């Protein structure tokens, strides 16, 4: 992939990527506040300002490496600080605060698909930014659905694991939480298998991306 292609892909993907990761963390912070924990707000993280959410590795280095390797832009923001002990209802709060980020991504992915369909069917093709907007919205749809699905994987410390934890008690909770020590190893195996042509993560991600694409096609059908 040459430098020109990398820059072009980055320009198309960056708006959707930043919106996806920033809104994801904002949703966690907002839902935590709704359940009585204002830790994120006190630390200035209940905001859509991308600057305060940037993680050097997850927001800058990792996405660029993936792009240079021919993959899609993907990464993460700095996690917002949450203190579950402050929740008015611990189990309910833990579930919904953890789920909020993925829900936000699925919502943004759906809205990106809808806007794609509106522009594709209602805006003249000779409009100066027609193709740029469509490409940007296509990336936004894909990134948001992938990020939402990835975070629902029930491996600590991903959001999906905290959702599972909200249903567990005592020894079962402690044993499940202990899986965190194996998470890095599991992801290294997944990455290694991907380089060998076995896309294990694809079994989770691909169906969700297809849902996003089907929704977009449905919007195109309704508006066409």
- Between 177 and 55, the more confident residue is 55
Residue 128 has pLDDT above 70, yes or no: yes
Report the percentage of the chain scoring pLDDT > 90: 67
Alpha-carbon gap, residue 41 to 53, rounded angstroms: 13
What's the CA gap between 194 and 199, in Å, rounded? 5
Round the average pLDDT of the chain to a whole number and report it. 91
Give the pLDDT confidence of 89-117 residue by residue, as tens digits. Answer: 999 999 999 999 999 999 999 999 999 99
Higher pLDDT, 137 or 179: 137
Half-sphere exposure of 213 (CA within 13 A, CB side): 8
Q: Which residue has the higher pLDDT, 191 or 63?
A: 63
Residue ranges per domain, the chain?
3-223
Confidence of residue 67 (pLDDT cuts 50, 70, 90): confident
From the list 141, 116, 113, 115, the residue with the least C-alpha distance to 20 is 141
Radius of gyration of the chain (CA): 19
Find out whether the peptide bond into 154 is cis, omega within 30 degrees of 0.
no
> Is the per-residue pLDDT at 214 higher than 70?
yes
pLDDT-derived band at 76, boundaries 50, 70, 90? very high
What pLDDT is recorded for position 195?
A: 67
- pLDDT for the residue numbered 181: 82
Q: How confident is the model at residue 185 (pLDDT cuts 50, 70, 90)?
A: confident
Q: Which of 142, 140, 168 is nearest to 154 (CA)?
A: 168
The predicted model scores a pTM of: 0.91
């Amino acid at each position: 992939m040459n430098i020109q292609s990398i820059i072009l892909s980055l320009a198309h993907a960056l708006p959707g990527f930043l919106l996806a990761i920033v809104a994801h963390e904002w949703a966690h912070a907002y839902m935590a506040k709704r359940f009585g924990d204002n830790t994120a707000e006190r630390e200035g993280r209940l905001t859509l300002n991308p600057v305060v959410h940037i993680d050097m590795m997850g927001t800058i280095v990792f996405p660029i490496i993936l792009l240079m390797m021919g993959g899609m832009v993907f990464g993460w923001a700095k996690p917002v600080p949450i203190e579950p002990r402050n929740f008015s209802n611990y189990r309910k709060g833990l579930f919904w605060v953890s789920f909020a980020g993925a829900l936000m991504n699925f919502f943004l992915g759906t809205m990106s698909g809808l806007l794609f369909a509106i522009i594709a069917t209602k805006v003249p093709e000779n409009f100066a930014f027609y193709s740029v907007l469509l490409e940007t919205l296509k990336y936004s749809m894909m990134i948001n659905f992938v990020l939402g699905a990835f975070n629902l994987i029930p491996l600590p410390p991903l959001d999906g694991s905290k959702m599972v934890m909200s249903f567990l008690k005592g020894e079962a909770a402690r044993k499940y939480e202990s899986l965190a020590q194996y998470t890095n190893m599991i992801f290294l195996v997944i990455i290694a298998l991907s380089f060998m042509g076995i896309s294990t993560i694809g079994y989770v991600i691909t169906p969700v991306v297809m849902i996003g694409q089907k929704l977009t096609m449905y919007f195109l059908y309704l508006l066409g």
